[in-house]
Structure 1
């Protein structure tokens, strides 16, 4: 792959792909595959985990289909792509009616890494490992318990860095509604994480 292509920002890669450069698309996919797949898995939740691969593929098909309509002067490519992923997931959740399906594979250490990153922690010592693994598992359980709309607001905020203003615009919601969804999601997660968050509080 030409070095010049690798140095391009996402927005320019999308424009190059829209103009017929398949290598530009390959680079976009490589850059964002993991983050978009994690987002899809989290938003669908365990009951629909078996459908995550299919929805993830649908997300990229939608990106391909919309390549000519992407405008770099609008949202950043990542914001645009995560909004497409959100819409694909919500479409599937509406169709499925939160039907129970076979659980997908365990995410291994990823919830642990994610939680530690959000709390500014470094790799735990061996004696702390069990605590952090349990906290990561509890975080996934807490996310599962959120209503889909609140889970989407939380994930867009924490996975993609969307502000409340961004959430309102991307989800076509009034500002106060977007703010409330995120606030309720955070309140429920804090309550659900309970003793794990208390254990992380600095000793006075």
Structure 2
């Protein structure tokens, strides 16, 4: 019986994308292409997290903090250990710590801003409509519904900017990045109950802030 040729593509399984942890270990071992793959995969998520965490008041510092995050990742590549935390948790921890340092140094004042930079209003409105604060949204929304969700999204972004920094960070990690409580506890360097409290109080404040739009939803439902 003849062995199957290793060059036969018909029998090669689809292995899928290389996991983040393996890419980072490969990069630490000298594979620069592995870093390029990580950057491409997580550039938008990390940038969005830094931008939302810093808020409008520190929007001019987003690019610098984002760049510094990747510089830290590069410098610390030899210390990365998937046994301690996944790459994604590790990377977002670095971004979180750098952003929080800027917020502390700035003496950030809480202010209300309604903004829609780079389409964030509609993006946040989609997040809102998925069930973040209210369940249910049309699969193919009308022009009027899109306008409504864009306005609701702008309001949500402004409400996020009013949250205490720690509550905003917990909210963003869970709702936008899909972090579990365990991963958030690692990233934020606090206990499970502290994470849960930040999420609970943050959501309560967001619901109050979004009350006007929630009431509007009740009228049209």
**TM-score bin (small chain):** 0.7 to 0.9
Runs of 4+ in 1 over 4 A off after TM superposition: 201-204
Give the deviation of 1:173 after TM superposition.
Answer: 1.7
SS state at 1:8 partner: coil
Give the deviation of 1:66 after TM superposition.
Answer: 1.1
Q: Tell me which residue corresponds to 2:117.
A: 107
Q: 1:181 aligns with which of 190, 193, 198?
A: 198
Q: Tell me which residue corresponds to 2:64.
A: 54
Relative distance call for 1:99 and 1:191 in structure 2 (3 A) is closer
Count of residues in correspondence between the two structures: 198
Give a deviation string over 1:60-112, Cα, whole Å, max 9, x none. Answer: 01111111111122322111111111011011111222179xx9x94232332
Unaligned runs of 5+ in 2: 1-13, 131-136
Counterpart Cα distance in 2 of 1:91 and 1:191: 28
Q: 1:171 aligns with which of 171, 181, 188?
A: 188
Mapping 1:146-157, distance limit 5 Å: 146-157=163-174
Whose Rg is larger?
2
Give the deviation of 1:155 after TM superposition.
Answer: 0.9
Q: Tell me which residue corresponds to 1:98.
A: 108
Give a deviation string over 1:29-67, Cα, whole Å, max 9, x none. Answer: 010000100000000000000000000001001111111
Q: What's the TM-score once normalised by structure 2's chain length?
A: 0.80
Relative distance call for 1:53 and 1:5 in structure 2 (3 A) is farther
Unaligned runs of 5+ in 1: none
Q: What's the TM-score once normalised by structure 1's chain length?
A: 0.86
Counterpart Cα distance in 2 of 1:33 and 1:123: 28
Counterpart Cα distance in 2 of 1:90 and 1:24: 28
Aligned-residue CA RMSD (Å): 2.6
